[in-house]
Structure 1
């Protein structure tokens, strides 16, 4: 199994009526800027272990499990709203680094969170790194009735148990699932990740630590005009990192392209685009050394 180089500690922080689970590496120092890492959809904070291990210097690293992921409970809700992630992050920074700027990194869904958050609280961020937080295809108002109807139909499926995550007989099954989803993931990393990505049940089976309500269609339309207004307020330097595999083509099949994403980035005042070769969307698993070097160069 993968051998961890930098040991993390688990902390639980009271945030908005939840006990937020946070992975922390290193210790705070008045001479260094904290590095905050936020994960993506159906992922967990421990997923950054490979990148933390690859960092060339010791950093004070703070990485939360978002609500309803990992060891952070969902709080009894049956739906997750995107603005809640922004508020949770704001409370998290209040707890760990009040009055201090951070270097903020977000992957996928987390990349979208940090881009939005940076537009609302630019003064709190020294450097911002977006790992394929592409955003979503543009929507139009006429899509609202169908979107809301689909959301309500999926809520019924959720409460009927139709969206439950199936258990795996053994943790090795979770590892095989991770390797099937990402063919670049080595077996040693998959076996290590499986024990953090999933939890053992009382009957010995293993279930992914992601609330099934995360699979619901978002009831709110994605309004590009509003997103661009947030992007315009990103006054800090921004590094947008992409993988050589074009995931947007696979996900959206022409409904939203890499060229459209690059067009949106043009409104960001200070943005640099970087590309990691031989990597897919889970670049923090595929090329952690390359990604760690990119981050450290950018925040130096």
Structure 2
């Protein structure tokens, strides 16, 4: 089992009809800005443990479990709206870092939230690190009829039970699943992650701590013009980090490319890029020391 170097502690904040679980590392107060870590889709805040362990300097760090993930709980829902993550983050910062310009790191979906939030509340962000938060392919208005129909059909599938997540016989089974998804993930890290990514139910089956309703496609199309308006409104310096494996190309098969992503980043007034070598999409698992170094060097620059 992976040996944690910097143990975390938990808090729960009642907020927006939810009990929001937040993981904490470091002191309760620090002369450095609070560092907020946002996890990706079907992930949890604890996913950042390896990167936190690799950070050289002590500071206050918080990582929430997004609604419908991890240990954050609330009333059942049958779909999620992306804008809710922005409101959730705003209220979390009001509670944990009131009046403070924070340093923000987001991975994948969390990176997309971070970029959007920094455009909505630019005064709340001092510096931003986006780990493979690429956004989505551009859409056209004439795609709307099929998108709404798809959304309705998937709602029906969810309620019929067709979207249930697979369960596992043991923590080891969850770890094997994680290593199959990410061949670079070592067994000790996979075993540790499995204990935070899933938990046993009353029958002893290990269930993923993610709501199946997250699998439902958004009813709204991804509006590139809106996204670029948000990018233009970001005032914080941004470091956009990608892995050496082209996960974007693997996902979208030419429908959306790294070249297009880099073009979008030109709309951010102060943005630089970096690459983590020998890594895929879960770069903070594959190369936590590289990721930690990039984060600290960027946050500490004058």
Does residue 297 (structure 1) correspond to residue 269 (structure 2)? The answer is no
Distance 2:112 2:30 in 1: 29
Distance 1:248 1:199 in 2: 30
Distance 2:199 2:149 in 1: 33
Structure 1 residue 29 displacement after superposition: 2.6
Structure 1 residue 75 displacement after superposition: 2.7
Does residue 43 (structure 1) correspond to residue 43 (structure 2)? The answer is yes
The secondary structure found in structure 2 opposite 1:52 is: helix
Which deviations, in whole Å up to 9, do the C-alpha atoms of 1:113-138 show, x marking residues without a partner? 00000000010010000000000000
Equivalent residue number for residue 98 of structure 2: 98
Q: Superposed, which structure 2 residues align to 1:1-300 within 5 Å?
A: 1-29=1-29, 31-300=31-300
The structure-2 alpha-carbon separation of the partners of 1:74 and 1:42, relative to structure 1 and needing over 3 Å to count, comes to: farther
Structure 1 residue 14 displacement after superposition: 1.5
Distance 1:206 1:152 in 2: 30
Which deviations, in whole Å up to 9, do the C-alpha atoms of 1:59-109 show, x marking residues without a partner? 110000000000012532110000000000000000001001100000000
Moved over 6 A (4+): none
Structure 1 residue 28 displacement after superposition: 3.1
The secondary structure found in structure 2 opposite 1:293 is: helix
Distance 1:166 1:29 in 2: 41
Give the TM-score, by structure 1 length: 0.99
Q: Which deviates the most, 213-222 or 74-83? A: 74-83
CA contact (8 A) 2:17 2:74 kept: no
Structure 1 residue 270 displacement after superposition: 0.2
How many residue pairs match? The answer is 300
Structure 1 residue 188 displacement after superposition: 0.2
Which deviations, in whole Å up to 9, do the C-alpha atoms of 1:160-179 show, x marking residues without a partner? 00000121011111000000
Structure 1 residue 194 displacement after superposition: 0.3
Structure 1 residue 256 displacement after superposition: 0.4
Structure 1 residue 182 displacement after superposition: 0.2
CA contact (8 A) 1:23 1:62 kept: yes
The secondary structure found in structure 2 opposite 1:67 is: coil
Flag structure 1 segments of 5+ consecutive residues without an equivalent: none
Distance 1:71 1:146 in 2: 34
Distance 1:126 1:154 in 2: 39
CA contact (8 A) 2:30 2:60 kept: no
CA contact (8 A) 1:68 1:75 kept: no
Distance 1:296 1:100 in 2: 19
Distance 1:166 1:284 in 2: 25
Distance 2:106 2:13 in 1: 20
Give the TM-score, by structure 2 length: 0.98
